[in-house]
């Protein structure tokens, strides 16, 4: 059957045609692909983070398991360092033992009657330190300004001590730094400080020389001069 549309053109049904721009289609496809990639990457990142967390938990558990061993190792290292420091101190002390024995032996026979010593100090780092220790460690004999402190009942006894020091090979550049007259238990005494340099090496002394020094130590300067003449 033939159909004839008698309606005017403005009322006639027009066919609907839809057309899409290719650039719009490409843009939509790219956006969808980007969203898919982001979703996939997010899932992958969550998986990686989960694996890292598991490794962290495992590492912490292993660390806790080895804490006791680590503490024991640290304690052993501390004991080792302390032992090595003591061994080093003993080696230094043993190496210079003969020097200090000879020095104090020589000094002992040179102290005359009515004189006694109260201190012997050697110049250390920054200021004088007592012989025997600097910062807890034995000191090595070295040439440097030192001081001898003591008391004397008379200037003649002090002068005799100075003469004896000049005859010693352990002390050089001897000078009196200080002399004070003080009261000690109701008696007048002289306190003194003598500056000197310690010889840096052991000085050999024969038994005969030591005996001679000991005999002269108790004499006054006049007696010593008379005996020499």
In the predicted model, is pLDDT for residue 55 greater than 90? no
What is the mean pLDDT of the segment spanning 137-157? 75
Same domain as 219, residue 118: yes
- Is residue 1 situated within a structural domain? no
Q: How many structural domains are present in the chain?
A: 2
Q: How far apart are CA 177 and CA 158, in angstroms?
A: 13
The residue ranking higher by pLDDT, 63 or 170, is 170
pLDDT at 180: 92
Same domain as 156, residue 176: yes
Q: Mean pLDDT, the chain, as a whole number?
A: 75
Same domain as 120, residue 43: no
Residue 58, token pair as written in the block:
């495992």
pLDDT at 227: 40
Same domain as 192, residue 129: yes
In the predicted model, is pLDDT for residue 59 greater than 80? yes
Q: What's the CATH code of the domain at 127?
A: 3.30.1360.100
Same domain as 192, residue 177: yes
Same domain as 190, residue 110: yes
Residue that terminates a domain, selected from 79, 95, 111:
95
pLDDT at 1: 58
Same domain as 184, residue 124: yes
In the predicted model, is pLDDT for residue 58 greater than 90? no
In the predicted model, is pLDDT for residue 190 greater than 60? yes
pLDDT of 73-99, one tens digit each?
A: 999 999 999 999 888 878 876 777 788
Same domain as 217, residue 166: yes
Same domain as 80, residue 120: no
Same domain as 113, residue 78: no
* C-alpha distances out from residue 66 to 54, 118, 167, Å: 19, 56, 67
pLDDT at 7: 61
pLDDT at 164: 93
Residue that terminates a domain, selected from 38, 64, 95:
95
Q: Work out the percent of the chain whose per-residue pLDDT is above 90.
A: 27
Same domain as 41, residue 137: no
- Is residue 5 situated within a structural domain? no
The residue ranking higher by pLDDT, 104 or 212, is 104
Q: How far apart are CA 191 and CA 181, in angstroms?
A: 6
- Is residue 9 situated within a structural domain? no
pLDDT of 21-32, one tens digit each?
A: 778 788 888 888
Same domain as 118, residue 28: no
* C-alpha distances out from residue 225 to 51, 122, 212, Å: 97, 31, 14
What is the mean pLDDT of the segment spanning 67-78? 88
- Is residue 113 situated within a structural domain? yes
- Is residue 13 situated within a structural domain? no
Residue with tokens 């020097």: 99
- Give the domain extent around 176: 97-228
Residue 122, token pair as written in the block:
């050697």
Highest mean pLDDT among 68-72, 169-173, 206-210: 169-173
pLDDT at 229: 35
């Amino acid at each position: 059957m033939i159909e004839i549309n008698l309606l005017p053109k403005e009322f006639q049904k027009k066919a609907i045609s839809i057309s899409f721009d290719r650039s719009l289609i490409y843009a939509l496809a790219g956006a969808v692909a980007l969203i898919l990639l982001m979703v996939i990457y997010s899932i992958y990142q969550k998986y990686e983070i989960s694996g890292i967390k598991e490794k962290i938990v495992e590492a912490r558990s292993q660390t806790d398991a080895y804490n006791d061993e680590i503490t024991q190792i640290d304690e052993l290292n501390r004991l080792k360092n302390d032992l090595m420091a003591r061994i080093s101190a003993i080696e230094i002390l043993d190496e210079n033992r003969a020097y200090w024995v000879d020095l104090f032996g020589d000094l002992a026979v040179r102290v005359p009657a009515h004189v006694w010593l109260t201190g012997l100090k050697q110049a250390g780092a920054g200021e004088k330190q007592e012989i025997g220790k600097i910062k807890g460690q034995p000191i090595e004999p070295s040439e440097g300004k030192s001081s001898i402190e003591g008391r004397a009942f008379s200037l003649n006894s002090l002068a005799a001590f100075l003469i004896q020091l000049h005859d010693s090979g352990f002390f050089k550049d001897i000078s009196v730094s200080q002399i004070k007259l003080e009261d000690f238990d109701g008696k007048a005494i002289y306190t003194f400080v003598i500056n000197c340099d310690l010889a840096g090496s052991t000085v050999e002394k024969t038994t005969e020389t030591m005996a001679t020094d000991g005999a002269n130590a108790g004499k006054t300067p006049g007696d010593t001069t008379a005996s020499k003449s």
